Structure 1
Amino acid sequence: MLFHFNISKYLTCLNFLNFQKQTTFFFFNIFTRNESNQKKYVIYKTYISFIFSLNSSLNNKMAIIMKRNFSIFLFIAITSIAAAQAGSFNITNKCNYTVWAAAFPGGGVKLNTGESWNMNITNGTSNARIWGRTNCTFDNLGLGKCQTGDCNGTLACQTIGTPPNTILEFSLNAYNDLDFYDVSLVQGFNIPIKLTPSFNSCGTVNCTADIIEECPTQLQVPGGCNNPCTTFNTPEYCCNSVARSAVVATNASATCAPTSYSKFFKERCPYAYSYPKDDATSTYSCMGGTTYDVVFCP
């Protein structure tokens, strides 16, 4: 959605001093020079609300009131811009077991059934991910280990998780002020997951099939269904000329092709990435500044 407006059209309807008009243009342009039309609209909408409140409060001490209210407006504008600089994720565990939610960047927390974690990620962040960990034990220092999705033995992840783990990948405020996101099974599967944007026009993506119960014998591991690259470590499954681990499998060559194992994942979760060079229909986009609801076991 794009927002189009003309500041002058609104300002010419208002009986303010030329100084105030010039000052408004000056600060508005400084604060929004790098912002999208959507963010400018939000900020300017705040300004219009300020204008009407000011009109209702003008009296013999107009200059003092204008100075005070204009300062308030500037504070609100700066706060609005700061809020717009982060993508918001509301992560909820609806599984009937504990999930240790993880994000890179972002850290990690323990989520019992029904608990949520609200997280903000700075706009401009790319190649980020959210996933869940299972069967974890941590000490009071946040050190320990997880059966699936472990991130170097820490509760607050500072690196990506180890397979198998179902992954939500995203880049915020990227090309043309858009967010890009997907569900990836390139590193296997451990927990059903769903992402829903706050804008209905943006696509919901999920993988909720009972993959662990149906997992091919060769890929079965405790707590999850592994990916073929980690299991076999061959170019056919790792998608490059030299076999590598699944952690770097996304650096695939252009010749990467689906296999019987990737087709197993694709048939059960058709809108998720099943191998590093999966088709473009697995990637979704939404306008920057969107709030996302992430649910384990939706």
Structure 2
Amino acid sequence: MEVQVIFALSLAIFFFNEAQSSTFTLKNNCPYTVWPGILTGAGPQLSSTGFELATQASLNLNVPPPWSGRFWGRTHCVTTDSKFQCATADCGSGQITCNGGGAIPPASLIEFTLAPNNGKDFYDISLVDGFNLPLSVTPHGRLLGCNTTSCAADVNTVCPSELQVKGLGGGVIACKSACLAFKQPQYCCTSA
């Protein structure tokens, strides 16, 4: 299976089918460094749970089905006092690898489920945890004929002021979900 996924205005992931296994190729097309994070929900742990991708750099990960999990892009990351931390979508591990930690909202997510034995694979883009980077998934290989899905717009540019997360320079670097910002049942789908 081959799928192209674009995080933020430029981080891309490609998926290639090799018999039962797939190769996810993550590529950063952003004009700045992005640190992808990976969380396995079911199936084998991938060889990496987080890494640095400079502009135009890419990394391949082999993924045998069945597997499900999430990918996201972390931005504005620094290491201080030997602790790695990102201003958006950090996973809280204190390291470049996430080691089982998921994205701390707000974070744009790409979710995958790879089925065994050429079963139906699923993928989606989720902004349920807010937004930090535009995303796109374009299927190839055994998913050829499936539709591209994306949130290609930079939501940060139209984020309402009460949902904005601002960086050190004062610019908007992420947009909270209404649930995260207001913590009320009508925004979190927690009441009848």
Structure-1-length-normalised TM-score: 0.49
Report the alpha carbon displacement of residue 240 of structure 1 after superposing the two structures with TM. 1.2
Structure 2 counterpart of 1:156: 97
- Do 1:182 and 1:205's aligned partners in 2 also have CA atoms closer than 8 Å? yes
RMSD (Å), alpha carbons: 2.1
Write the distance in 2 (CA, Å) between the matches of 1:192 and 1:117.
19
What does 1:83-122 align with in structure 2 at a 5 Å threshold? 84-105=19-40, 106=46, 107-122=49-64
Higher strand proportion? 2
What does 1:1-298 align with in structure 2 at a 5 Å threshold? 84-105=19-40, 106=46, 107-126=49-68, 128-138=69-79, 143-152=83-92, 153-157=94-98, 158-173=100-115, 177-199=119-141, 200-222=144-166, 223-241=173-191
The secondary structure found in structure 2 opposite 1:109 is coil
Q: For residue 157 of structure 2, what is the amino acid of its counterpart?
A: E
Write the distance in 2 (CA, Å) between the matches of 1:147 and 1:175.
40
The total of aligned residue pairs comes to 158
Q: Which deviations, in whole Å up to 9, do the C-alpha atoms of 1:19-38 show, x marking residues without a partner?
A: xxxxxxxxxxxxxxxxxxxx
State the identity as a percent: 41
Write the distance in 1 (CA, Å) between the matches of 2:81 and 2:183.
36
- Do 2:20 and 2:116's aligned partners in 1 also have CA atoms closer than 8 Å? no
- Listed as ranges, the gaps of 5+ residues in structure 2 are 1-17, 41-45, 167-172
Q: Which deviations, in whole Å up to 9, do the C-alpha atoms of 1:31-90 show, x marking residues without a partner?
A: xxxxxxxxxxxxxxxxxxxxxxxxxxxxxxxxxxxxxxxxxxxxxxxxxxxx53433211
Flag the 1:176–1:160 CA change in 2: closer, same or farther, 3 A: same
Larger radius of gyration: 1
Structure-2-length-normalised TM-score: 0.75
Runs of 4+ in structure 1 off by over 6 angstroms are: none
